[in-house]
């Protein structure tokens, strides 16, 4: 019997487990996660008001409840206090790392470390109740915010900044974040990109949602569209970019409308410095850019200052090295061939990757399906060699001997019950538990 560990229970991990049990009728899979809760970014990255996308948890649940799949939460692999990669190899015939891209890219400009400057990842983790998140007073005393980046995460955080209690209360957002956002005094949010409208990375569905926000106007500068050659005739653009340009042109033509809050979509602005105002961010200095004729932009030497007491950078994710595995610093990925880890110190097949740590932070949730299948195909082709290694009958005993007490599926179900009970007490629906102690205490009631 082939025993496989999948490290990470987000979409890539679940699709990997699903492919394994579908393509091999005897394989047994343990899905390990550092957190006591499954689903990865579907739980901790999808905006709380996106119920349709969050409902994907039902599909992932089906995988984790398969008779030959076992969820083991609270198992840290690598790093301080974690199970060493070398020890994990001894417990399973093969290990598939689906650990995503755990950190964010930096701007590399002066003032980036000022209070009030955060990554969008940190902000999303806070309102999504990630137990590692800190309540940093993101919106406290802020009147204006700048979101640097023009992708879906940037749109998500801009939307969260202007939503009120009525729209956020029905979500599973933790109570502290709900209270803070509902009391926010932010009235203007600037979403800013250094390139043109035709090169923005929004999906059109996400972009259009901004128009439906109550008491919020959306503004686009006609001059930004005029500067982008592709906006004059978008017919040659790929369908997604063409639809985006059409939406942006509509907003630019409509002009500013009176509203309590506004979201301004700005283009051809490159951040140069975050400006200090009494020990915290007070504004962002941008350089105007223009098309360079080769698909990029160049600086113009003209500058613009935008007031902001909150700055969120949303310029991409990046993978981090895992001790015991090779790592390509330039791409932020683990080198591989069709999912097989290359130059592994193990010396024989056994280490595999899937998801963002394999291909980089690209694609949508569905992109993980073919990605996972490619890796699983490689792994199963190696099975005759993998099965030559003797492994323990039940790795859980070995984990416990290493001082690791995994959170079983029943522990996760207990967390779900506790979150439903918390929501009922607060007069809401399900409300997430937002700290390690609460999560682990709830999980113990299901053991």
- CA 290-292-293 angle, 5° bins: 125
pLDDT one-digit tens code per residue, 82-104: 899 999 999 999 999 999 767 78
Assess whether pLDDT exceeds 60 at residue 255: yes
Q: Is 384 exposed, middle or buried (0-12, 13-18, 19+ CB in 10 A)?
A: exposed
Mean pLDDT within 345-356: 78
CA distance 98 to 31: 10
Assess whether pLDDT exceeds 60 at residue 160: yes
Assess whether pLDDT exceeds 80 at residue 257: no
Mean pLDDT within 433-447: 92
CB 147 within 8 A of CB 312: yes
Assess whether pLDDT exceeds 60 at residue 289: yes
pLDDT recorded at residue 341: 93
Confidence of residue 293 (pLDDT cuts 50, 70, 90): confident
pLDDT one-digit tens code per residue, 44-75: 998 898 888 778 889 999 999 999 999 999 99
CA distance 199 to 193: 9
Provide CB contacts within 8 A for 291, sequence distance 6+: 196, 227, 228, 229, 297
CA distance 411 to 187: 42
Mean pLDDT within 386-408: 92
Q: What is the mean pLDDT of the chain?
A: 92
CA distance 308 to 31: 43
Which of 104-113, 368-377, 380-389, 428-437 comes out lowest in average pLDDT? 104-113
Q: List residues bridging with 281 in a β-sheet.
A: 276
Conformation bin of residue 352: beta by default, left when phi > 0, alpha when psi is -120 to 50: beta
Maximal CA-CA distance, the chain: 71
CA distance 166 to 113: 34
Provide CB contacts within 8 A for 247, sequence distance 6+: 204, 207, 208
Confidence of residue 362 (pLDDT cuts 50, 70, 90): confident
Mean pLDDT within 15-34: 96
pLDDT recorded at residue 236: 85
Which of 12-16, 227-231, 296-300 is most confident?
12-16
Assess whether pLDDT exceeds 90 at residue 383: yes
**334-364 in b/e burial notation, b at 16+ Cβ within 10 A?**
bbbeebbbeebeeeebbbbbbbbbbbbbeee
Percent of the chain with pLDDT over 70: 98
Assess whether pLDDT exceeds 80 at residue 367: yes
Q: Is 422 helix (H, G, I), strand (E, B) or coil?
A: helix
CA-based end-to-end distance of the chain: 27
What are the structure tokens assigned to 55, written together?
């409902």
Mean pLDDT within 213-228: 92
Helix or strand (DSSP H, E) at 117: strand 117-119
CB 300 within 8 A of CB 336: no
CB 416 within 8 A of CB 443: no
Which of 11-20, 146-155, 358-367 comes out lowest in average pLDDT? 358-367
Which of 17-21, 198-202, 231-235 is most confident?
17-21
Greater model confidence, 234 or 308: 308
Assess whether pLDDT exceeds 70 at residue 191: yes
Assess whether pLDDT exceeds 90 at residue 393: no
DSSP state of 73: B
Pairing type for strands 117-119 and 310-313 reads: parallel
Confidence of residue 345 (pLDDT cuts 50, 70, 90): low
Supply the pTM of this predicted model: 0.92
């Amino acid at each position: 019997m082939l025993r496989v560990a999948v490290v990470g229970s987000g979409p890539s991990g679940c699709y990997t487990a699903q492919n394994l049990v579908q393509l091999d009728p005897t394989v047994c899979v343990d899905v390990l996660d550092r957190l006591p809760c499954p689903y990865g970014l579907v739980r901790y990255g999808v905006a709380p008001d996106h119920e349709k996308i969050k409902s994907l948890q039902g599909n992932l649940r089906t995988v984790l409840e398969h008779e030959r799949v076992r969820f083991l939460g609270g198992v840290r692999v690598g790093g301080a206090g974690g199970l060493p990669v070398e020890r994990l190899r001894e417990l399973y015939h093969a290990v598939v790392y689906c650990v995503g891209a755990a950190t964010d890219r930096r701007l590399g400009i002066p003032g980036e470390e000022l209070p009030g400057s955060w990554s969008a990842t940190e902000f999303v983790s806070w309102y999504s109740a990630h137990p590692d998140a800190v309540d940093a007073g993101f919106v406290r005393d802020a009147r204006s915010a700048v979101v640097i980046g023009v992708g879906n995460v940037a749109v998500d955080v801009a939307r969260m900044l202007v939503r009120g209690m009525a729209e956020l209360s029905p979500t599973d957002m933790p109570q502290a974040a709900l209270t803070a956002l509902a009391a926010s005094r932010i009235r203007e949010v600037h979403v800013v990109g250094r390139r043109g409208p035709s090169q923005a990375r929004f999906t059109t569905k996400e972009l259009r949602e901004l128009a439906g926000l109550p008491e919020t106007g959306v503004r686009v500068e006609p001059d930004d569209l005029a500067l982008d050659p592709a906006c004059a005739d978008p017919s040659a653009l790929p369908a997604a970019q063409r639809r985006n340009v059409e939406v942006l042109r509509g907003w630019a033509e409509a002009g500013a409308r009176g509203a309590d809050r506004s979201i301004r979509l700005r283009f051809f602005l490159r951040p140069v410095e975050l400006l200090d105002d009494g020990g915290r961010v007070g504004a962002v200095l941008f350089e105007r850019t223009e098309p360079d004729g080769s698909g990029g932009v160049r600086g113009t030497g003209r500058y613009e200052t935008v007031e902001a007491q909150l700055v969120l950078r949303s310029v991409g994710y990046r993978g981090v090295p895992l001790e015991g595995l090779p790592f390509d610093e330039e791409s932020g990925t683990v080198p591989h061939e069709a999912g097989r880890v290359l130059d592994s110190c193990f010396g024989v097949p056994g280490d595999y990757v899937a998801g963002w740590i394999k291909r980089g932070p690209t694609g949508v949730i569905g992109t993980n399906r073919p990605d996972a299948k490619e890796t699983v195909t490689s792994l199963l082709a190696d099975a005759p060699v993998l099965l030559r290694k003797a492994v323990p009958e039940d790795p859980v005993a070995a984990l416990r001997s290493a001082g690791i007490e995994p959170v079983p599926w029943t522990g996760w179900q207990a967390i779900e019950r506790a979150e439903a009970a918390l929501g009922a007490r607060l007069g809401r629906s399900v409300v997430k538990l937002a700290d390690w102690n609460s999560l682990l205490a709830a999980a113990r009631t299901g053991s």
